[in-house]
Amino acid sequence: MATGIAAVVPPSSLNESFYPTTPSDYHRIVSPGLQIPSDPHVAIPVGILTCQRDPLARELDTVIVNSTFLRPEPPKGGSKKANQKQAKTSAAPTVSKPYLQITLHDTVLFPEGGGQSYDIGHLVTEDGSIWEIDFVKRHGIIAVHYAAIKDGLEGVPELLTAGKKVRVTLGEEGLKRRLDHMSMHTVAHLLASLLESKLDVPTLAWSLTSYPAPAYVDLPRALTPAEVTLIQDEANRLVFEGRRVHVEVRELDVGQAGAEGGDVPAARESRGLPSDYTGGVHRLVIIDGVDRNPCCGTHLPSLASLQLYILPPPAGGGTGPFRHLFLTGPRLLAHLNNVQTVLSRTAATMSCSVNETPDRVTLAVDENKRREKRIEDIERELAQTIGASLIEEMLRWRTEGGEGEWTRYIGRVDDEAGAHGFLQAITFAFKDLLPKDAPPYTLLLTSSPSSPTQTSTTVVMIFGSDDIRVKKVGEALKAQFKTLKGGGKGARWSGKATGVWLNERDGKMAALTLVQA
C-alpha cells in the first residue's frame, strides 16, 4: 500500500496466504530490443500489460496517462455505417450513457481481444473513492478503461486526471469473471491443439461464449464418441501432469501487422493480428510440449485444475461444420449444478430417483401418446353419435309436421382448447348421414370452457344447407356479440368469441338469433 490507497478487495473466501502467484519465468521477452516502458506517463501497449505478464495479479498501483469525458452520441437512426463501426473490436464503442475513458500506465484489467471478453473491476483514487470499470476496450495498442459516471458528473474529476496515482483492481466479481475466462481460454488452446495433433482435425472456428454457456469449437466433421473420449482423456492426462503454460513475446516486425506468425498453423488463430494493432508486440502462448499459438489473451500458468469436459457429440447427419461444446473450471461446476437441478426437479415431478428418470419420462410420454390416440377415437365416435342423433331429431321434427327450415343450437361445455376440430367432426358426421330428401337446415354449435373467465375463448360454428343463410346468421351473431370474430365459406362459418359465455344466457340469445336472422 505504498500509495496509501485503500484496498477494495474484501478479505473474501480466498485465503490470502494460499492465493497462487504467477511464476517468474511465465512471461519471457525473447527479443533483446523489446522493453516494457517504465515511464509512468507512457501507456504500456496491449500485449505486455500486467494482466498479460502476470495473469494472477489482482490489483496494481499505477498512474493515469490520459482521461476524457465521453458523452453518449445521439442515435444515428441505426444506419449501416454506425453498426459496422460498433462491430469492429477495437473501435470506440457507441455508448448509451456518459463514461470516463481512462488510460493507465499499466493495468490488471484485460481489454477485449483474441476471442476473450473484457474484464470488469474498479479504480480507487487517492482519497479512497471507488470507480466501477464497466468494460475495457483496446483502441489500437492502448487499453482504455470505461469508468461509470457517478452523481451526474459533467467532467473529469481532479483525482482522475493525468498524472494522478490510482489503484486498479479486479475486485471479487472481476476476479471470478476473469478466472472463468482464463480457464476456458487456456483449455480452448489445449483442445484445439489435441484435435490437430491426435486426430488431424483442424478447428474452423471457436468461441468462449459467456458464462455459464459452454464454449464451442466448429470442426469439419463430427467426432465419434470414442474420439471425444480419447481427446478428453489425453487433455486430462496433461491436466493431471500440471503442464506449465508460459508466454513468449518479441517485437512486432515492421509490416507484420495483420500477418500471421510463421510457426503456427494458419487455421488456429486465423484472424492473425488485428490490422489496427500496430506498434505492439508479437506474442505466443505456449503449453509446454503441447502447443504454441499466437494469442493476446490471459492464460493460467498451469493446466492444473483445468479438467476438460466435452459434451456428448451431437447426433450424426448433415454436413459440417460440426459444433462441439466443452467446459472447464468454474463453468464446468456451474453446468454440473444446473444439470443436477434440472434432473432433481424432473425426478421430483416423476416421483422417482434421478437414475430412474429417463425410463419414467419415456413411459409417461408413451402413455400420453396412447391417451391422445384414445381421445381421438372416442371423439370420432362421439361426433358420430351426436351427428346421428341430430339427423334423428330432424326427421322426427318433419314427421311431426315441421315445415320450412329446421334449426338447432347445441352449446357444448368442453375444456379442450382445440374444440374447433370436434365441432367440425360433428358437422361432417351430420352431413354424411343426411338423407337425400332432408329439409333445409341450419346448425349452430358452440364450445365453451366449464369455468369461463374474461379471457376464455368460445368456439362458434354454423353449418347449413343454404350458404346465404349461413353467412347471414354469422353476421347477425357478430353484430350481437361484440367480441365474436369469424367468417366462412359456403356451408360453413366459424369464429371465436372472447370472454364469459354462459349457455343459459348467451346460448339462449344466440339460439334466438339463429331462428330470427
Residues that bind Zn ion (CB under 5 A): 114, 295, 297
| Nearest distance in Å: CB 297, Zn ion | 5
- Closest CB to Zn ion among 108 and 295? 295
| Nearest distance in Å: CB 144, Zn ion | 21
Nearest to 207 by CA among 226, 188, 191: 188
Nearest to 330 by CA among 300, 301, 306: 306
| Nearest distance in Å: CB 114, Zn ion | 5
- Closest CB to Zn ion among 110 and 430? 110
Cα separation, 405 vs 442, in Å, equals 7
User: Nearest 5 degrees, angle CA 266-CA 272-CA 331?
Assistant: 90
- Closest CB to Zn ion among 114 and 171? 114
Cα separation, 25 vs 301, in Å, equals 10
Question: Which residues, at least 6 apart from 437, have a Cβ–Cβ distance to it below 8 Å?
Answer: none
- Closest CB to Zn ion among 297 and 495? 297
Would you call 344 helix, strand, or coil by DSSP?
helix
Partners of 457 in beta bridges: 498
| Nearest distance in Å: CB 210, Zn ion | 16
- Closest CB to Zn ion among 114 and 261? 114
Length of the chain: 517
Query: Whole-angstrom distance between the N-terminal and C-terminal Cα of the chain?
Result: 91
Partners of 463 in beta bridges: 443, 492
H or E element in which residue 233 lies: helix 225-241
- Closest CB to Zn ion among 65 and 327? 327
- Closest CB to Zn ion among 271 and 371? 271
Q: Are residues 301 and 245 in contact, defined by beta-carbon separation less than 8 angstroms?
A: yes
Residue carrying the nine cell digits 483492481: 169
Nearest to 70 by CA among 99, 93, 104: 99
| Nearest distance in Å: CB 215, Zn ion | 12
- Closest CB to Zn ion among 297 and 387? 297
Question: Which residues, at least 6 apart from 172, have a Cβ–Cβ distance to it below 8 Å?
Answer: 9, 10, 12
| Nearest distance in Å: CB 101, Zn ion | 26
How many beta carbons lie within 10 A of that of residue 16, not counting itself?
A: 8
| Nearest distance in Å: CB 189, Zn ion | 6
H or E element in which residue 199 lies: helix 171-199
Cα separation, 358 vs 349, in Å, equals 12
How many beta carbons lie within 10 A of that of residue 406, not counting itself?
A: 20
| Nearest distance in Å: CB 325, Zn ion | 18
- Closest CB to Zn ion among 64 and 286? 286
| Nearest distance in Å: CB 266, Zn ion | 15
Cα separation, 159 vs 128, in Å, equals 10
- Helical H runs in 242-356? 329-350
Q: Are residues 457 and 416 in contact, defined by beta-carbon separation less than 8 angstroms?
A: no
SS (H, E, C) 276-292: CCCCCEEEEEEECCCEE
- Closest CB to Zn ion among 169 and 293? 293
| Nearest distance in Å: CB 238, Zn ion | 17
| Nearest distance in Å: CB 115, Zn ion | 6
- Closest CB to Zn ion among 120 and 295? 295
- Closest CB to Zn ion among 295 and 425? 295
Cα separation, 269 vs 68, in Å, equals 34
Backbone angles phi, psi at 307, to 5 degrees: -50, 130
Amino acid at 220: P
Cβ-closest position to Zn ion: 295
| Nearest distance in Å: CB 230, Zn ion | 23
